Amino acid sequence: MRRQIVAGNWKMNKTHDEAIELIENILNATYDDSVQLIAIPPSVYASEIVGKVVGSKMGVGVQNSSQHAAGAYTGELSSAMVKSIGVEYVLVGHSERREYFNEQNSVLAKKIDQLLANDLTPIYCCGEVLEEREAENHFNIIKNQIEEGLFHLTEDQLQNCIVAYEPVWAIGTGVTASSDQAQEMHHFIRSLLIEKYGLDVANTISILYGGSCKPSNAKELFANPDVDGGLIGGASLNASDFVAIANSFS
């Protein structure tokens, strides 16, 4: 009913030759092809990597794109440009973009509009920081991110989106959300989608977990009914770890 997805966010890592070696090693490995794999390299390599994945089940994404359609925005990438090189997915609102580039929900909603207008699939990231969880404010934070980022969309538009829950305190820290914590928040996100869009629509949306997901914990995380896969950072930089995670659906 929902796609199982494992996406690798390479962030700002790998030189050209390293990036090509990584994608080739992933493509040469044996992975469960009922799982949608997505490589999200630095955008400078995206075009070449799109060429490499032809004929495989791997999709390609980039890590960011502009809320503007075109014009004098030095350094930015438009959705149309990304689409024109064969990329299919774009991360929106990763916590590092929210924190270091001050991206607010209102801007992220506009980025999503640009992506959908260009027939691209947004992977919309949400997540709370440690202080918010400790203050027991995490459900409110996520509700706000989901509502402000997504709730202006029509049913059809929402069905072209993927959601990623990434507790910020688990990203790159080695501390993973427990399987119960992940399921609890994924279930909460799905209940928000059910309330707004109804059960049938909400049940088609893949919700990925991100934050120190690795081969040793992926199986337990992915076994949860509302966890439809992972958005993998550090472990996606190693082909055998990434493929082991992709093979962790039971």
Q: What separation in angstroms does the CA of 138 have from each of 84, 130, 131, 152? A: 38, 9, 9, 22
Residues in Cβ contact with 15 at an 8 Å cutoff, skipping those fewer than 6 apart: none
Site for ligand PGA in 7-36 (CB under 6 A): 9
115 touches 122 (CB < 8 A)? yes
Instruction: Look up tokens 């199986």; give the residue.
Output: 219
49 binds ligand PGA (CB under 6 A): no
Chain CA centroid to CA 2, Å: 15
Window 150-189: contact mask with ligand PGA (x via CB under 6 A): ----------------x----xx-----------------
* Residue 94 appears among annotated catalytic residues: yes
Between 41 and 211, CB nearer to ligand PGA? 211
* Identity of the residue, 161 or 202, whose beta carbon is nearer to ligand PGA in the bound complex: 161
Quick check: 198 binds ligand PGA (CB under 6 A)?
no
Stretch that binds ligand PGA, among 143-151, 179-187, 229-237, 241-249 (CB under 6 A): 229-237
Stretch that binds ligand PGA, among 21-29, 198-206, 208-216, 239-247 (CB under 6 A): 208-216
Residue 166 among the catalytic residues: yes
Residue nearest to ligand PGA (CB): 233
State the Rg of the chain over Cα. 17
Tell me, what amino acid is at 191? S
- Cα(146)–Cα(127) distance, integer angstroms: 10
Min dist. Cβ of residue 117 to ligand PGA (A): 25
Residue type, position 73, single letter:
Y
Q: Does 217 bind ligand PGA (CB under 6 A)?
A: no
Decide if residue 234 touches ligand PGA (CB under 6 A): yes
Q: Which residues contact 220 (CB under 8 A, 6 or more apart)?
A: 179
Among 144, 61, 74, residue whose Cα is nearest residue 106 = 144
Among 103, 132, 166, 186, the active-site one is: 166
- The CB-of-59 to ligand PGA minimum distance in angstroms stands at 16
DSSP assignment string, 197-235: H-HHHHTT--EEEESS--HHHHHHHHTSTT--EEEESGG
Query: Counting contacts by CB under 6 A, is residue 232 touching ligand PGA?
Result: yes
Report, in Å, the least distance between residue 230 CB and ligand PGA: 8
Considering the rule CB under 6 A, would residue 229 count as an interface residue with ligand PGA?
Answer: no
Would you tell me which residues interact with ligand PGA (CB under 6 A)? 9, 166, 171-172, 210-213, 231-235
Provide the annotated active-site residues: 94, 166
